[in-house]
Amino acid sequence: MDKLENQQVEEQEIDLVEVFYVLWRKVWILLVSLAAGVILSGAVTVFFITPQYEASSIIYILSKTTSITSLADLQIGASLAADFQIIATTREVVEPVMETLGIDEEYESIVKDIDVTNPTNSHMLEITVTRNDPVQAANIANTLADQLKMQIAEVMSTDTPSTVERAVVPTERSSPSILINCLVGGLVFLVVAAAAILIGHFMDDTVKDEDDVKRYLGLDILAAIPLEHLTEEHIVNKGRPKK
C-alpha cells in the first residue's frame, strides 16, 4: 500500500514538473499575454469607463437643546440614528434636493447614488454621494444634509441638528481603480494563456520522443537513430525489401 502511495506521489510530482517546463518553454507567450492584459485593461478603464467621484457631509443628529449629559438622551440618539438613515433617502428629503439643484432625473437614479451610514458608537450620520460629476456630488451631499436636518427637526419637534463637516468637491476619482483593473486584466490574460498552453500540450497525443513512447505505449526504448543521421535514400527506401 505504501509503495502504491509513493508511486502516486512520484507521478504527481513528475506531472507538476512537466507542467512547469511546459509553461517555461512558452514563457514568452505568458509575458506577452500579461502585458497585453495590462495595456488593454488600462486603456478600457481610461477611455471607456466613466470615472466616479465621492463627496461626503456629516451631521450630528442631536440638537443644541438636547442635554448631552443625560445618558437617556445619548441612548435615544443612538437608536434614532438608524431611523434617520431611512428618512435620508425618502422622497420627502430627496425630491426637494433635486428641485433645488435643478436635477432632471428620476428619483430612483439619485437614490442609488446616495449612501447614508451611522459610524459605530456615534450620533452622527455620514452622507456620501457618488456621481460622475464631482461638483454635483458635493452639491447633492451638502443640500441633502441641509434638507435632512430640517426633516429631523420637524419629525423630532426640536432644533435643527448641527453640521459636523460639509462636503468638498473631490479632486480624485473613487472608481474605477486603474491599478486594480490593470492587475486583474493582466492576471486574467495570463491565466487564459497558461490554460491554453496546457490544454494544447495535454491534448496532443502524438509521439515525439523516447519519453512519449514509454508513457503512451508502455515500451522501453532499446536504441534510437537520430533523424539527422539518415540520408534521403534511407528515408525513401525505408521498409522496401532489398533486391
Q: What is the CATH number of the domain that holds 74?
A: 3.30.70.1130
Joined together, the cell numbers standing for residue 131 give 456621481
- Is residue 36 a part of any domain in this protein? yes
pLDDT at 40: 96
Q: Kindly provide the b/e burial profile for residues 58-89, where b requires at least 16 CB atoms within 10 angstroms of the residue's own CB.
A: bbbbbbeebeeeeeeeeeebeebbeebbebbb
pLDDT at 212: 62
Instruction: Say whether both 42 and 84 belong to one domain.
Output: no
- Is residue 19 a part of any domain in this protein? yes
Instruction: Say whether both 58 and 36 belong to one domain.
Output: no
pLDDT at 145: 94
Instruction: Say whether both 181 and 232 belong to one domain.
Output: yes
Domain containing residue 77: 53-165
Per the structure, the count of domains in the chain is 2
Q: Kindly give the parts of the chain with pLDDT less than 70.
A: 1-14, 62-80, 121, 205-243
For residue 144, give every residue at least 6 positions away whose Cβ sits within 8 Å of its Cβ, in sequence order, or none. Answer: 57, 88, 93, 94, 97, 114, 127, 129
Instruction: Say whether both 147 and 71 belong to one domain.
Output: yes
Rounded to 5 degrees, what angle do the CA atoms 135, 141, 142 make? 90
Q: Tell how many helices (H) and how many strands (E) occur in the chain.
A: 9, 4
Does this model's pTM top 0.75? no
Instruction: Say whether both 42 and 58 belong to one domain.
Output: no
Q: How far apart are CA 33 and CA 53, in angstroms?
A: 32
Instruction: Say whether both 194 and 160 belong to one domain.
Output: no
For residue 57, give every residue at least 6 positions away whose Cβ sits within 8 Å of its Cβ, in sequence order, or none. Answer: 126, 127, 141, 142, 144, 145, 163, 165, 166, 167
